[in-house]
Amino acid sequence: MTAAFPLLRLPYLVLMPILEQMEFMERIALSVLSKRARTFVKLLKMKCEYITLKLNGDRIEMIVFFENSKELTLDMYVNEHPQISLHYNYSIAWWPGPLSPMDYVLPIMDVTHCKSIKKLIFPKVSEYNPKYNALIPLLKKLPKIDELIVKHTTSWGFSPDSPLLKVLRIVLPVSSAVTISDHVRKPEYLREIFKGNFDSVSVSLFGNIDTRFPLNDWKFTNAKTLKLDGLGFKVEDLNQYFKLWMKKTCNPRLEYLEVGTRRWLSSEVMHLLLDGLNAVQVPIRTDSQLQELGNIKQLRFSDEKITSEFDLTRADGKNATIRISNYGLVSERLYNFCIQYASFFRIGLSLLSKRARMFVKLLKMKCEHINLKLNGDRLEMTVVFNNSEELKVNMYINRNKEIGLKYGHDYISRWPCTLTPIDYVLPIMDVTHCSLIKHLTIARVTEYDTLSLLAKLPKIDEVHVKYVWFNFNPDSQLQDVLRIVLPVSSAVTISVYADKPKYLREIFQGNFDAVTVREYRVVVVPNRDMMLSPNDLRMTNAKMLSLPCTVFTLKDLNRYFKLWMKKKCNDRLEYLEVATGRWVKTIKINKLLKGLSAVQIPIRTDKTFRVLGNKKQFNSEDSNEEITSEFDITRADGRQATIRISDYGTVCFYVWPESTKDTTNHEPNQSSFTRKFSRLSSFYNSFIERFK
């Protein structure tokens, strides 16, 4: 029978030179084919430094690190469409057929002379049994694991019924160290790990304020090195544990214990910590080096310093040292400690408590403005600082409450949280000295409860309702949201489909500074079903009003100008802009200005007006749009307004201040003689044209 690979039938002395000439990727692929191939490839002594495995849902990622700083990456998909991809200097991808991930991992470990996995990382365990079961044969065959890491990105809580713990029970017996930074609802879920015969156990549970660590759990620990950070506990329990060590009634294997207290140690708390221990304070020895599992122990952060050091001596003569760093400072020095923090960590610190927020607020981290965006089950917050840098906070309000923070290159992704979004928004506004939200964008509204959050927002400069997949009608979820935020808003921009114009009347009648209604989908594509009557325009109460095309006819707009002349419409109006959607050639200007006694004046491209206290010029989204006509109208009480018409058919209506002596809106202003002369000139030219 002919062999599938005749190459493997060659004699040893002939085959080895051929294997030596093969590229690295070819050797690895060949070693997976058969035990005979693996035997020969193993003789090439392709030794690696270490191997890491990462179980990410339906994908297993294997990385082999070599001494030349090169990496071999193997991605194995265990879903309905299994696939293998191999990358070293280039990539290879193929369908594995009946082979399982175990048939790749173990042969590669064999030919690279690696007897253990340095790190086995669990960022996510698949929820689906078919995919989950595909991992079991591989995990049962792993020989030894130096460190097992459970990251905080796991989709399951750390509980007895989760697939995560079922997988961990397979690999824990062959693991030397365990690191957990996952959401733990109850501390007893960790007891199985605390009782394990590990060299090192590290638990970091940031954000789980309710997770307590009582004294009984301290007694169960059996690791040589124990690190606890983010767990809530009483200082009295920590003191009691030290007393148990003094009496030799706790973990005899313990070499090193590190606890993140989550609080700044005042003199009173320090007394509770050392009470009854006969601790002797010793000078801080910066040159002394503590050993942890045979390695020199270093501080966690570059700016962390030891502030206090105490020695304990047991009855049997065994000594221990308690060191306290500046990450547990006396509260009176908290302000100086906060100064050393980067902005990203200051923000995170301010979320812990009101006291921390009080000190962080003294740093005067003022921002330019803050924007919020409601996008379905996610609330996005953007804090813009004076140095053009941004802090972005994504808060998920679905069933799995999570938060993500990003500032520059620093970020925290999918951080499990127990707080509501408002408990993040308001503290960040407080420490950045921001009293209002500049833009609140409503992109999508879902069934998740957002009303309680929005009800606590202090003030909003502008609410922008983007195009959403439901209509703008009284029964929509969008209207429920708007009824909460509109009373504290100054301006509203609507770019959403409205079945009937009456659905917008509640907004038109509001006491807003500015109301903008944009066209459904795009500005230049009219929504034929949306037509407003003169009564709808008459009811408006905004100082600045911008409307899209086709909502009014020219006749309706002319009637509104006549109502303004008679002082029978919005007396707060400063600026009105209507996009008629017609080219200037098709606009019948006489029909628009009929009965207004409008006087045409020269076009001043440098002229500016004051709207809402700011200078206003004609600004179009199209750079080719230009003003082609300009007219002045005067009311019986002497108040004036200017009508501008562009070549795209945009009609702008500016209202001058009540006092004719007030020229603050005219920039630059024309003298009375120039204005009268220009009107006389226009009248003369029009008379000559009619005569011709």
The encoded tokens of residue 465 equal 């309702």
Cβ(412)–Cβ(204) below 8 Å: no
Going by pLDDT thresholds of 50, 70 and 90, the confidence category of residue 238 is confident
Strand 367-375 relative to strand 437-444, pairing? parallel
pTM of the full structure = 0.47
| Peptide bond before residue 668 is cis, with ω within 30 degrees of 0 | yes
Structure tokens at 466: 């983007």
Backbone φ and ψ of 73, nearest 5°: -115, 130
Q: How far apart are CA 301 and CA 327, in angstroms?
A: 10
SS3 542: coil
Q: Are 208 and 183 in contact (CB under 8 A)?
A: yes
Provide the pLDDT confidence category of residue 332 given band limits of 50, 70 and 90. very low
Q: Specify the amino acid at residue 3.
A: A
Q: What is the pLDDT of residue 628?
A: 86
Among 181, 126, 127, residue whose Cα is nearest residue 158: 181
Is 50 exceeded by the pLDDT of residue 207?
no
Contacts of 666 (CB under 8 A, 6+ apart): 607, 609, 656
Q: What is the pLDDT of residues 509-568, one digit of tens each?
A: 888 888 888 765 444 344 555 566 777 777 888 888 888 755 677 888 889 899 999 988
Paired tokens of 67: 């001494």
Task: Inform me whether the pLDDT recorded for 656 exceeds 60.
Answer: yes
Dihedral angle, C-alpha 456, 402, 463, 521, nearest 10 °: -150
Residue 685 has pLDDT above 60, yes or no: no
Give me the pLDDT at residue 129, please.
44
Q: Which of 573, 589, 596, 574 is nearest to 649 (CA)?
A: 589
Q: What pLDDT was estimated at residue 447?
A: 64
Residue with tokens 């960790």: 190
User: What is the rounded CA–CA span in Å between residue 523 and residue 527?
Assistant: 9
Given a cut of 90, whether residue 633 has pLDDT beyond it is: yes
In this prediction, residue 139 carries a pLDDT of 80
Pairwise CA distance, residues 510 & 517, whole Å: 14
CA proximity to 382, closest of 450, 439, 459, 465: 439
Write the burial class of residue 569 (CB in 10 Å: 0-12 exposed, 13-18 middle, 19+ buried).
Answer: buried
- What is the model's pLDDT at position 272? 83
- Asked if 174 contacts 115 with a C-beta cutoff of 8 angstroms, the reply is no
Q: What does the block give as tokens for 533? A: 């009557």
The pLDDT, as a whole number, for residue 666 is 43
Query: Which DSSP string corresponds to 22-36?
Result: S-HHHHHHHHTT-HH
CA–CA gap between residue 569 and residue 154 (Å, rounded): 60
**Tokens standing for residue 669:** 């202003």
Provide the percentage of residues in the chain whose pLDDT is more than 90: 4
Rounded CA-CA distance 413/601 in Å is: 60
Which of 326-335, 407-416, 648-657 has maximum average pLDDT?
648-657
pLDDT reported for residue 76: 83
Report the relative pairing of strands 627-634 and 599-600 from DSSP bridges: antiparallel
Per-residue pLDDT at 392: 86
Using pLDDT thresholds of 50, 70 and 90, give the confidence band for residue 371.
very high
Residue 144 or residue 688, greater confidence:
144
Model confidence pLDDT, tens digit, residues 35-91: 888 888 888 888 888 999 988 777 888 999 987 778 888 888 777 677 788 888 766
DSSP state of 606: T
Average pLDDT over residues 311-340: 63
Confidence at 338, pLDDT banded by 50, 70, 90: very low
End-to-end CA, the chain: 109
Q: 459 is written with which tokens?
A: 């003030």
pLDDT above 80 (res 327): no
Torsion region of 548: left, alpha or beta (phi above 0 gives left; psi -120 to 50 gives alpha): beta
CA distance 150 to 48: 24
> The tokens 């941004």 sit on which residue?
390
The CA-CA-CA angle for residues 358, 361, 364, to 5°, reads 160
Over residues 461-476, mean pLDDT:
69
Paired with 641 in beta bridges are 633, 655
Domains of the chain, by residue range, sit at 24-183
| Average pLDDT over the chain, rounded to an integer | 74
pLDDT of amino acid 586: 56
Average pLDDT over residues 352-381: 83
Instruction: Give CA–CA dist 670/604, Å, rounded.
Output: 10
* Pairwise pLDDT comparison (343 vs 48), residue with the higher score: 48
- What's the confidence (pLDDT) of residue 334? 37
With a cut of 70, say whether residue 402 has pLDDT above it: yes
Quickly list DSSP for 455-488: TT---EEEEEE---SS---TTSHHHHHHHHHGGG
- Asked whether the predicted pLDDT for residue 134 surpasses 90, the reply is no
Residue 339's pLDDT is what?
41
DSSP 232: B
670-681: average pLDDT: 43
Cα angle for residues 130, 131, 137 (degrees, 5° grid): 95
- DSSP codes joined into one string, 258-293: EEE-SS---HHHHHHHHTTS--EE----TT---EET
More confident call, 646 vs 297: 646
